[in-house]
Amino acid sequence: MAIDPGLNSLGWAIWEANNRSDMPDRVGLLHAPRKLSLPDRSLFLAEALDALLPEEEECEVVSEYPAYHGRVKGWDSGDLQKLVFLVGFLAGYFFRFHFTPVTPGEWKGQLPKDVVIRRLQKRLGKSATKHFDKDIWDAVGIGLWKRGRF
């Protein structure tokens, strides 16, 4: 499972063990209720992700880990700290699996989101990715990076 974490929307992509293609078997977005506290929101997202994974199989989970890039809109409000908390929570929750945190610079370098989207559309096909939205793009990119195919 590859995760692009977010406090408002979290993208995920899953490749089953026997899938050797670049296209994930399942993708989606999760939204936690905004009224929840940060720990409760993190638990809500972790449990929703856990429900997507097979119970008997050993899994790998890779998640983007935020990196500080100077003054970025929203980070002054504590969003970066909250996102780091969420990723740390997910790492602890998924302790039974191999959990890999990866910074944006590690998996995509300096590529802007529109370039990531175009690259994935070219590799997977526009028709196959027409239902991808928001954070799903990065989740798929992170997963392909983990698989050595980005």
pLDDT tens per residue, range 26-64? 999 999 999 999 999 999 999 999 999 987 778 999 999
Q: What is the pLDDT of residue 73?
A: 59
Cα–Cα separations (whole angstroms), residue 20 to 24, 27, 110: 9, 16, 27
Q: What is the pLDDT of residue 17?
A: 87
pLDDT tens sequence across 7-18 = 889 999 999 989
pLDDT at 75 over 60: no
- DSSP assignment of 27-78: EEEE---TTS-HHHHHHHHHHHHHHHS-SSS--EEEEE-----SS-TTGGGT
Class of domain 2-146: alpha beta
Q: Which residue has better confidence, 22 or 73?
A: 22
Tokens 């990531």 found at: 116
